[in-house]
Structure 1
Amino acid sequence: MLVPMLVGAVVHTAAPGSGEFFGSFTGALYTGLPAILAVFYICLGSTLDVKAAPYIAKKGGVLLGTKVVFALLVGIVLGRLLGESPVSGGAFAGLSTLAVVAALNDTNGGLYMSLMAQFGRKRDVGAYSVMSLESGPFLSMVTLGVAGLSAVPWQTLVGAILPLVLGMLLGNLDPEVRRFLAPAVPAIVPFLGLSLGLTLNLTAVWEAGLLGIGLGLFVVLAGGAALLLADKASGGDGIAGLAAATTAGNAAVVPSIVAAANPVYAPAAQSATVLIASSVVVTSILCPVITAVGARRILKQPPAGEEADEPTADGGRPSPGPQHAPGAAPAAATRRDGG
C-alpha cells in the first residue's frame, strides 16, 4: 500500500489539479476512495469465518478487545487535552486524538500472520479472523464518540460496517463466494493506496517528521506492552500480543472517512493521515524485531535433563529440538508447529 500511496502523493503534490484536468476514469482515482473501500471491505469480510474454533475466538477476542480498550483510554485522555482539533503549533503540531486512535485501532494482519506462522501456534494465525473486525473506520468512530468527542451519526456508523457484514454473510453462506472474493483483497490494496495518496500533499509528510516516528513507537511499545500483558493474562505466552502491536496500512484512510462523516474532524484529517502512514512504516520495521527477540526469550530450550513439552495435535507446543549441554547457550526460538 505504501509505494502506490507515495506515488499518488508525489503526483498530487507536483500537479494538484491533474484530477480535474483529465477527468473521466483518471479523475475518478482522485475521488473514488469511498467506492474502492466499500469493495475492499466486502471482499475482506468474505474471508472471516464466523464458525472459528473456540481457541481462535478467545485469542482473537482478547487481542481485539485489548486494542479497542487501550485506544479508548488513550482517546479519553487526549480528548480531554486536545478535543477534536489537532495541535496547532510547537513540536507536536498536527498531532490529534483522531490520529492516535486510528493508529492504535487497526492491526497489520499480513505482518501478524507471518510472524505467528514463524514463532506462534498454527491456530494463533487464525486469530486474525476475529481481529479483522477492527478493519475500517467503525471502531475508531465508536471510540471517538465514547471518549466524549463529537459523535458520528448512527447512520454513518452502520454504513461503515455494512460492507464488512455483507462480505461475512456472503462468505459464510457460500464457500465458493469466499474463494472467489478472497484473492481480491491483496489485489485491491495498491489501488487503495494510490487513491489515498492522490489526496495527500508531501509537504505535510515533511512536517510530520519525528512526530510520526514517535506515534509508531507509541503503538509498538505502549500498545505492545498492553497486548503482551493481556495475552499472558488470558493463558497465552505473549508472542501473539507482541505481533499485534502494529498499524495497518488501511488505517491511513480512516481520518478522511471520519472527516467526511463529521466535518468537525476535517482540520485534523490530513495531518492524521500522514502521521498514521509514518506509524505504518515504523511499526512494520520494529514489530518483527521486537517479536523475534521476545519469542527467543519465551521459547528458550529447557535445561538439559528437563523434559520438553509434548507437541499437541495442532502443533501447539515448541518442537523438542536437540538438548544443549549444561552451561551452553540455549538454542534459538523455533516455530511451534515444528517448522
Structure 2
Amino acid sequence: MKIKATLEKIPGGMMLVPLLLGATLNTLFPGTPTFFGSFTGALWGGALPILAVFFFCMGTTLSFRATPYILKKGGALFLTKVGVAALVGIIAAKLIGDGMVLGGLSVLAIVAAMNDTNGGMYMALMGQFGKAEDAGAYSIMSLESGPFLSMVTLGLAGLAGFPWQTMVGAILPLVLGMILGNLDKDCQEFFGKAAPVMIPFFAFGLGAGLDFGKVATAGLSGILLGLGVIVITGTALFLVDKLTGGNGIAGLSAATTAGNAAGVPAAVAAANPAYAQVAGSATIMVAASVIVTAILCPIVVAWYASRLKKKEQFKLQANKAS
C-alpha cells in the first residue's frame, strides 16, 4: 500500500490527515483517552511534549549564524500579527463597541482570534514546507501567547503580569538544540532527521483537542472569523515575510488562531467585568476560528509551496534550454 505517497499527494496531508483524524475521533468519541488511558491517552493529549522535542530537533539544524535572521523574521511576523489584530480591533470597536453583532461576533472574539498564532501548526508546516531558520522565528512569535497582548490591544495594559518564565520555557528547547547541533555535527544529523517524523504525531494530538461541534455552535460567524484570520492576517504576514527575505510560506503559516486563544476571553473578562457579557460567545467564536484555520491553513500553504516548486522547476528547465 502507498499510504505515505497518498498522504503526500494531499495538500499538507502529512499533517492535515492526522489532524482531521484526531478531531473526528474527539468529536465522536471524546471519552476515548480516559477509557484507554496509558499510552493511548497520552498520545491523545500529548501535543505539547511532542512539540518540545520537535523544537529541540529543529534547533539542532540551526546555525548560530542564522540568529540575526531569526530575530528579524520572528520580530517582523510578531509585530505584524499583533499590529493587524490591534488595527482590526480598533475598527471593529468603532462599529460594534462593547457589544455583539448578529451571530455573536464581538471585538473581544476578533482580537483574541487574530492575536495568537498556532505555534504547533506553524512549526509543523515549517518542518514540511519551510526553512529551519523560519521555524526558529517562532521563538520570538511565542510572545503572542496568552491574554496579555489581547488585554493590551483592548486597552487593559497593566491588568496582567508578563510571565517571563513561560516565555523562556518556550524557546529553551530550541536554544539547547542549537547549542548541541553547533557543537557536534553528528548530533545535528542524528536529531535533525527526527523532526519530520514527529509531524503526524503532533498533528494528531493537536486535532484531538478540537471539536467539530463547536464550529456548528458558532455558525456562520465563527467560520467567517476563521476565514478573516487567514485572509486579513495572512495577507499582511505574507507581504512582511517577502519584505524580510522570505518566500511567503512562513507568513502564510502564521495565519492561524492558537488553541489556547480560546481561553483568552475568559481571562480578559476576569480582569475586566465589562467583557463578561460577551466572553461566553467570544470563546465559542475563537474555538471555531481555531478549527477553521487549522484545516484551511495547511491547504493554503501546501498549494502555495507547490506553486513555488513548479516555478523553480520551470526556471531550471529554462536555464538548461538556454
Pairwise TM-score range, normalised by the shorter structure: 0.5 to 0.7
State the AA in 2 paired with 1:224: F
Q: Deviations over 1:24-83 (max 9, x none)?
A: 11111233222222111111111111134xxx955x65544331221131233356667x
On the 8 A contact 2:142/2:170 being kept in 1, the answer is yes
Residue in 1 aligned with 2:315?
334
Q: Which whole-Å CA distance do the structure 2 matches of 1:87 and 1:135 have between them?
A: 34
Q: Which whole-Å CA distance do the structure 1 matches of 2:266 and 2:293 have between them?
A: 19
Name whichever structure is richer in helix by fraction. 2
Within 5 Å, give how 1:266-281 maps onto structure 2.
267=283, 270-281=287-298
Q: Is 1:6 aligned with 2:20?
A: yes
Q: Which whole-Å CA distance do the structure 2 matches of 1:27 and 1:280 have between them?
A: 27
Query: Between Structure 1 and Structure 2, how many residues are aligned?
Result: 273
Shift of the 242–21 alpha-carbon distance from structure 1 to 2, 3 Å rule, reads closer
State the AA in 2 paired with 1:36: I
SS in 2 for 1:148: helix
Q: Is 1:132 aligned with 2:136?
A: yes
Residue in 2 aligned with 1:44?
58
Q: Could you tell me which of 167, 173, 182 is aligned with 2:183?
A: 173
Q: Is 1:246 aligned with 2:260?
A: no
Within 5 Å, give how 1:1-339 maps onto structure 2.
1-52=15-66, 57=68, 62-77=72-87, 90=103, 92=105, 95-103=109-117, 106=122, 108-109=125-126, 113=130, 128-129=132-133, 132-134=136-138, 138-141=142-145, 144-145=148-149, 148=152, 150=160, 152-206=162-216, 207=219, 208-228=222-242, 230-231=243-244, 240-247=246-253, 254-256=258-260, 264=267, 267=283, 270-284=287-301, 287-288=304-305, 334-335=315-316
Out of 17-26 and 70-79, give the one that drifted further: 70-79
Deviation at 1:14, TM superposition (A): 0.7
Out of 214-223 and 138-147, give the one that drifted further: 138-147
TM-score, with length taken from structure 2: 0.67
Q: Deviations over 1:247-293 (max 9, x none)?
A: 269x66x433x678997279476334214314413532563488689
On the 8 A contact 1:104/1:219 being kept in 2, the answer is no
Larger Rg, first or second structure (1 or 2): 1
Shift of the 69–167 alpha-carbon distance from structure 1 to 2, 3 Å rule, reads same
RMSD of Structure 2 on Structure 1 (CA): 4.2
SS in 1 for 2:209: coil
On the 8 A contact 2:238/2:251 being kept in 1, the answer is yes
On the 8 A contact 2:223/2:289 being kept in 1, the answer is no
Greater RCO (CA < 8 Å, at least 6 residues apart): 2
Deviation at 1:221, TM superposition (A): 2.4
State the AA in 1 paired with 2:253: T
On the 8 A contact 1:46/1:167 being kept in 2, the answer is yes
Deviation at 1:205, TM superposition (A): 3.9
Q: Which whole-Å CA distance do the structure 1 matches of 2:189 and 2:62 have between them?
A: 12
Q: Deviations over 1:118-149 (max 9, x none)?
A: xxxxxxx6xx5255231586232399539716
Instruction: Report percent identity of matched pairs.
Output: 29
5+ residue gaps, structure 1, are 114-124, 297-331
